[in-house]
Amino acid sequence: MTGTAGGHTMRTAPALDIDAILDDPQTRIVVCCGSGGVGKTTTAAALGLRAAERGRRVVVLTVDPARRLAQSMGLTELDNTPRLVAGTRGSGELHAMMLDMKRTFDEIIEAHADPERARQILTNPFYQSLSSSFSGTQEYMAMEKLGQLRRADEWDLIVVDTPPSRSALDFLDAPERLGRFLDGRLIRLLTAPARAGGRSAFKLLNAGFGFLAGALTKVLGAQVLKDIQTFVSALDAVFGGFRQRAEQTYRLLQAPGTAFLVVAAPERDAMREASYFVERLAEERMPLAGLVVNRVHRSPAAALSAARSAAAAEDLEARGEHELTAAVLRLHAGRMQLAAREHREQEHFISAHPTVPIAQVPAMPEDVHDLAGLREIGALMAA
C-alpha cells in the first residue's frame, strides 16, 4: 500500500484507531512506552483526557519526575494519591498521579507486615537505600502501583506513562530482577541465621563460610553487613507477596484488556527503539495496539518540492529580486527536506513491521501546557 505525504510517496501502515481503543469498555489499561524525550508523558495525558471527555473514569499514572503533567492539567502538584483534574468536559472524570517510589515501597511494607516488623524494616539503613536508589526499584514500584490501582477497581481506564529509563520495557523485567536479588545466594546466606533459629550471624557464617564472612565484612563493614542481615530477615515474611503480586500484574499486562502504545519521534534513534519495543512486546506476548509518532513535520504546500523551491529561491537571489520571497522558499525547502528524512525513517519501521497500526501527531508550534493543548493533541492522535 502506498500514499503521499510531504510530497514524497511512501508505503503506509494501517491507521491506528485511537478512539476505538479508548471507547472499548473492555480496555482497562493503556501503557505508553518508548525511549526518552519522545513525548510519552504528553501522549499519556492527552489519551487520559480524551477518554475522560468521552465518558470514562480515568486515572493517569506518570513516573516521569518532570512537573509538566501537573502543570498541563492545572494541578499545583502530583503525588502518590490520584487527584481529580478540574476543567474536563463531558460526563467522565480524569484523575492524575505521579509515582512516589519510596512511598509506594513503604506502603507495601506497612500493608504486609505487623507493626513491629514494619518498623524494623522502615528504619533499616539498607532498606532506606534500597527503596530510594536500587536499580529497578522505580520500575518495580510502577508495576506494584499499577496492580494496586487495578485491584481497587475504581477506574474504567488506567493510562500508564512508563519510566524514563534507557529501555522503557525495564519495568517488565524489574520484578524478576528484584526477585533474583532478594532470592540470590548471597541474600539466602545472610538470612541463614534467622532460618536456623536466631544464632549469631557471624558464628553461623564462620562455621561454614568464614572466608566469605571475613571478605564481606572487609568490603561492606560489620555494621552494613548487619543492616543487610536484619533487613532481609525482616523482609523474608513479606517478600512472598512481592513476587506473587508482580506475577499477577505481569499476567494483567498480557491480558486482552490491556493495550500497549509505543511512542516515538520520527528520528532514526527513536524509530529504532520503537522497532525494538515492538519486537520485545511480541516476545513477551504483550498486546500491542500500535505506534504513535509525535512531532511529525508537514507542509501546507507539499506539492512544491524542496528541489523546485530551492531552485526558485536561487533564481530570485541571482537576479537580486524579492529577497523575502526567496527566504520563504528557502525555509520551505528546508522543511520539505526534514519531512523527507522523517518519512524515510518511518518507512524503515513500516518495512520491518508492516502490520503495526500507526497514528501521526503533527509538530506543534509550542509546548503543551494546559488542558486545551492536551485536548488538541488527543484530537490529532485520533484524526
Contact present, 201 and 190 (Cβ < 8 Å): yes
> Which helix (H) or strand (E) is 118 found in, with range?
helix 115-122
First to last CA, the chain: 20
How far is the C-alpha of 114 from the C-alpha of 118, rounded, in Å?
Answer: 6
CB atoms closer than 10 angstroms to residue 378: 24
In this predicted structure, what is the pLDDT of residue 163? 75
Query: At 119, which amino acid appears?
Result: R
How far is the C-alpha of 383 from the C-alpha of 378, rounded, in Å?
Answer: 9
Q: Which of 382, 346, 347, 340 is nearest to 361 (CA)?
A: 382
54 burial via Cβ count (<10 Å: 0-12, 13-18, 19+) = middle
How far is the C-alpha of 77 from the C-alpha of 143, rounded, in Å?
Answer: 22
In this predicted structure, what is the pLDDT of residue 164? 64
Least confident of 79-88, 302-311, 350-359: 302-311
Q: What is the mean pLDDT of the chain?
A: 80
Least confident of 29-43, 281-295, 324-338: 324-338
In this predicted structure, what is the pLDDT of residue 79? 85
How far is the C-alpha of 305 from the C-alpha of 316, rounded, in Å?
Answer: 17
Q: And the C-alpha cell for 22?
A: 479508548
Confidence tier at 268 by pLDDT (50, 70, 90) = very high
> Which helix (H) or strand (E) is 43 found in, with range?
helix 40-53
- Answer yes or no: CATH 3.40.50.300 is held by domain 18-192+218-297+363-382: yes
In this predicted structure, what is the pLDDT of residue 236? 61
Confidence tier at 135 by pLDDT (50, 70, 90) = low
Contact present, 336 and 297 (Cβ < 8 Å): no
| 102 pLDDT above the threshold of 50 | yes
161 burial via Cβ count (<10 Å: 0-12, 13-18, 19+) = buried
pLDDT, mean of residues 360-381: 92
pLDDT, mean of residues 197-224: 50
CB atoms closer than 10 angstroms to residue 70: 20
In this predicted structure, what is the pLDDT of residue 1? 43
| 176 pLDDT above the threshold of 90 | no
CB atoms closer than 10 angstroms to residue 139: 26
Handedness of CA 231, 237, 240, 243 (dihedral sign): negative
| 168 pLDDT above the threshold of 60 | no
pLDDT cut 90: percent of the chain above it? 36
> Which helix (H) or strand (E) is 22 found in, with range?
helix 18-23
Q: And the C-alpha cell for 144?
A: 506494584
Which range, 53-62, 65-74, 108-117, 291-300, has the best average confidence (pLDDT)? 53-62
16 or 189: whose pLDDT is higher? 16
Query: At 365, which amino acid appears?
Result: P
In this predicted structure, what is the pLDDT of residue 269? 92
| 134 pLDDT above the threshold of 80 | no
Which range, 1-10, 15-24, 249-258, 361-370, has the best average confidence (pLDDT)? 15-24
In this predicted structure, what is the pLDDT of residue 322? 73
Q: Is the pTM for the entire model greater than 0.75?
A: yes
The tens digit of pLDDT for each residue in 282-304 reads 998 999 999 999 999 876 666 66
93 burial via Cβ count (<10 Å: 0-12, 13-18, 19+) = middle
Q: And the C-alpha cell for 85?
A: 483534574
Give the residue extent of every domain in the chain.
Answer: 18-192+218-297+363-382, 301-356
